[in-house]
Structure 1
Amino acid sequence: MELTSTSFLVTLIAVTALVMLLALLLWNRVPGPGPVRWAARVLMIALCQLTAICVVATWINGSYGLYASWDDLLGRGTGENASAMTGPPLGRAKFTRGSDGTLGTYFRGSHSKLAGQVIVWTPPGYDDPAAAGTRLPVLMLLHGYPGSPRSWIDLGSMPGGLEQLVQLGTAHPFILVMPEIYPGGVNTDCSDTPQRKIATWLTQDVPDLVAKNFRTLPEPKGWGLMGVSTGAFCAAKLPLQYPKVFRAGAALDPDPLTGDAEVLPDPALRERNSPMWLVRHAKAADVGLFLATSAQDKDSPPRQLAAFAKAAQGTGVRVKTLVRPSGGHNFQTWTGMYPEALGWLSTELSAPANPS
């Protein structure tokens, strides 16, 4: 049973109710001497509290997207040695289809030498022989920290959120690519550091993997990013750093755009990997950025979006901002931003096309 599934939450609620009912029924029926009865009653109270705490913790996790799976919660496969796990040779990958229709692989990049999970979804009709000559734009979805690629599926209503907008005619059908943004378990805000080349993983290894295995439009006009929280920071940063790879990025509730000292302690490295510094030094890059937040989000205050838009003036970088009146730092808020974000991305990125 998945950590973020509704059935798991409902099961916990049912167990909590059952434990409380049993405590009421057995409170005065516990046999034995006084100390034994008191010990049993304390145990019943503890069980009631534990199950109730589990319900609340599961609800909070589902609302804020803190952990997307049991492996994510328990730290399996995301430790310091995760990038050295036995897997395919460098640059090779074998995709397997999941029950939800997505294609997944554990892939080791030939440029970064890092290894991580990559999930790909192709829109309906992709495998139709009549569409064999059609190439599609690519949208990479960057999860937050903590999180995993499956956060978009288990918590983020993807690909359903995109499919609804495609049916309405307000968004392109994209190939969705959901990679790990901190392979090896260390968050670098999608930056290359002396220890880990995560920017290289996201801008060379993953695009190479997708372009070799799927019918994609050429970079950069056919490639974009959308991220949430830490992934939103990356979605604002990477197009500015790598305009020859990505033409556009949509950042939903981005982390502080000046960088995080806890993530990159080196001041010079942190500054040169911050969207604020990058946009000020952009040289007429053909890049568009969409930044969104809510007036209630203290983790991503509206003032930083305004400051970023001001810094972008005169650089040639196209910036659009959205501030919703309410909403927290969670997928409930972010899914509400999909229509504006995906609609805007569809104006920045090329539509599906048949080059022949």
Structure 2
Amino acid sequence: MDPLEWDLIDGPAPAVLAALGGLALLWLVAGRRRHLVRAVVPAALIGAVGGVAVWFVTEEVLNIWGAPQPPWFYLLGGTAIAAVLLGATGLRTRRRWWQRVLTVVAPVLVLVAVAVSINAYYGSFPTLQAITNGADVPRLEAVRTPEGSGPLTTLDAWEPPADMPSTGTISVTTIPGTVSGVEAGDAYVYLPPAYLASTPAHLPVLVLIHGDPGGPEDWITGGRLPAVMDAYAAAHKGLAPIVILPDGSASTGPTPSLCLDSNYGKAGTYLSTDVPAWVKSTLKAGTHAATDWAIGGFSYGGTCSLTLATGHPSVYPTFLDISGEDEPTIEAGRDALIANYFSGDAAAFEAQNALDVVTTTPLPGTAGIITVGADDSFYRPQGEKVSAALTSAGVDVQLQTVPGGHTWEAWNAGLQNNLDWLMQRAGVLAG
């Protein structure tokens, strides 16, 4: 089997690499008492300080992850720092050539073991090949589009043409900010087999927003979106949603857009106006009714999906909030968000914030599913709060608890478990 296709999450590779990393660390630590005192103890202390420093900067100062991370995350980071220091020391003290070679190789093995262990927890890269998946995606070319703007094709009525391919395609493109003025990065498009047939099916459109930090390609790597959608299509005669993965972080400022219209650009308009307009004109999809459309996302993207569904119910009447927050946030807090994004105008923020919107705006045609990870102690309570608030406001919403923490285990389940529901909402499957 090609090493690039080794399973880095559920296969034996993480355990094997962890064992090699442990042996390499033992090699770096092993030595006489003088080595322990002069090299190992200082390296361990510096590693410990480094791990704490990484925690403080990433969580307390920059809030890069958006939520507290497991303590072992920083323990492994400190271990990696100590291994590199021990390797540098070993090159000065070890004399035999094979010892020097092992001293160079050992820190690399520790670093690899640490990286693979963290990756296995989050599920970001299922294989080494997945790391380059985004780079390998071809540009979207002209495609055969459905004729007219008739109702969506139903599973019962669909007879796949003989030339329908067995799998869909994933392509990269640019969706211009014609109305919003947003200069967004690359977007990705999944076209299912039934859309690629000689007589394309009329299919619903699912817009999926990524997390932050991150980009739309994360749905391709950690989310394995092409394989997930192909598997669904294979079980439904080639029918599956057309999936659009736009750049949900485009901003004119140093911070993410939060999918809002604000001082940092009109990201809300981009995602609610420019993206649908491009899909309708380029792919001739989503042209029949609002129920053709759904929006979803994980973490930051889950918050975006809730924001856009409540703020633009005629565009996105169906939403999938996967491990999202109870409102758009930045590390500095709500007051700083309002000051920076809205020049201190709290009402302008509340006009777009979902839990404020639902208190004043009825959403009779809107339906959503909120999924939370069973082990996600930070985001699960926020999802539960959102579910209770929307239910109290009369919105048709379901709350689901899925296995996992704030990782791809939970995010993948949030999407895969609800594809049938999305297709039923669109009318492709019988309810």
Q: TM-score range by the shorter chain?
A: 0.7 to 0.9
Equivalent position of 1:258 in the other structure: 327
**Aligned mates of 1:228, 1:180 — CA distance in 2:** 14
Bigger radius of gyration? 2
Letter in 2 for 1:287: T
8 Å Cα contact 1:222/1:349 also seen in 2:
yes
Equivalent position of 1:311 in the other structure: 389
Equivalent position of 2:270 in the other structure: 201
Among residues 365, 368, 372, which one is paired with 1:289 in the alignment?
368
**Aligned mates of 2:280, 2:311 — CA distance in 1:** 20
Among residues 214, 223, 237, which one is paired with 2:307 in the alignment?
237
Structure number with the bigger relative contact order (C-alpha 8 A, sep ≥ 6) is: 1
Following superposition, the deviation at residue 35 of structure 1 comes to 5.7
Distance 1:106 1:171, change over 3 A: closer
Distance 1:101 1:307, change over 3 A: closer
**Aligned mates of 1:171, 1:344 — CA distance in 2:** 17
Query: What's the TM-score, normalizing by structure 2?
Result: 0.62
8 Å Cα contact 1:149/1:178 also seen in 2:
yes
Equivalent position of 1:337 in the other structure: 414
Distance 1:300 1:172, change over 3 A: farther
Local SS of the residue matching 2:111: helix
Query: What's the TM-score, normalizing by structure 1?
Result: 0.73
Equivalent position of 1:321 in the other structure: 399
Distance 1:312 1:36, change over 3 A: closer
8 Å Cα contact 2:206/2:241 also seen in 1:
yes
Equivalent position of 1:110 in the other structure: 178
Distance 1:186 1:67, change over 3 A: farther
Following superposition, the deviation at residue 106 of structure 1 comes to 3.0
Local SS of the residue matching 2:358: helix
8 Å Cα contact 2:21/2:113 also seen in 1:
no
> What is the aligned-residue identity percentage?
21
Residue 60, structure 1, aligned to residue 113, structure 2: no
Following superposition, the deviation at residue 54 of structure 1 comes to 3.0
Local SS of the residue matching 1:225: strand
State how 1:79-228 maps to structure 2 within 5 Å.
95-96=140-141, 101-113=169-181, 114-131=183-200, 134-169=201-236, 173-184=240-251, 186-218=255-287, 219-228=289-298
8 Å Cα contact 1:227/1:252 also seen in 2:
yes
* Gapped regions of structure 2 (runs ≥ 5): 32-90, 132-138, 143-166, 339-345
Equivalent position of 2:377 in the other structure: 298
Following superposition, the deviation at residue 108 of structure 1 comes to 3.1
**Aligned mates of 1:306, 1:16 — CA distance in 2:** 39
8 Å Cα contact 1:220/1:246 also seen in 2:
yes
**Aligned mates of 2:102, 2:350 — CA distance in 1:** 54
Local SS of the residue matching 1:236: helix
Once the two structures are overlaid, the 10-residue window that deviates more, 214-223 or 136-145, is 214-223
Following superposition, the deviation at residue 220 of structure 1 comes to 1.9
Distance 1:243 1:51, change over 3 A: same
Give the helix-richer structure, 1 or 2: 2
**Aligned mates of 2:331, 2:174 — CA distance in 1:** 28
8 Å Cα contact 1:138/1:216 also seen in 2:
yes
Local SS of the residue matching 2:327: coil
Following superposition, the deviation at residue 142 of structure 1 comes to 1.1
**Aligned mates of 1:45, 1:63 — CA distance in 2:** 28
Following superposition, the deviation at residue 159 of structure 1 comes to 2.6
Following superposition, the deviation at residue 327 of structure 1 comes to 1.1
State how 1:10-21 maps to structure 2 within 5 Å.
17=20
Distance 1:105 1:258, change over 3 A: closer
**Aligned mates of 1:298, 1:270 — CA distance in 2:** 27
Letter in 1 for 2:413: G
* Gapped regions of structure 1 (runs ≥ 5): 29-33, 74-93
RMSD: 4.1
Question: Number of matched residues?
Answer: 314
